[in-house]
Amino acid sequence: MSTLTELGAYLVTKSIGTLGTTMFLGPLPMGVTAGVAVQMVTGGRVVRAMGPVLGAPVADTPSFQVVVRNPDHTAGETKVKAVIDALDHYWGTLSGTSYLYMELEYGPIYLGLDENNRHRWSTVFRATKRRS
What pTM value is reported for the model? 0.91
Q: Give the per-residue pLDDT at 51.
A: 63
- How many domains does the chain divide into? 1
The domain that contains 64 carries what CATH number?
3.30.2000.30
For residue 126, the number of C-alpha atoms closer than 13 Å in the C-beta half-sphere is 11
Q: Give the per-residue pLDDT at 52.
A: 59
Give the span between the Cα atoms of 37 and 59, in whole angstroms.
Answer: 25
Do 67 and 121 touch, CB atoms closer than 8 A? Answer: yes
Domain of residue 13 covers: 3-49+57-130
* Proportion of the chain above pLDDT 90, given as a percent: 84
CA separation (Å) from 2 to 15, 39, 97, 129?
20, 12, 10, 11
Q: Give the per-residue pLDDT at 123.
A: 98
Q: Give the per-residue pLDDT at 53.
A: 62
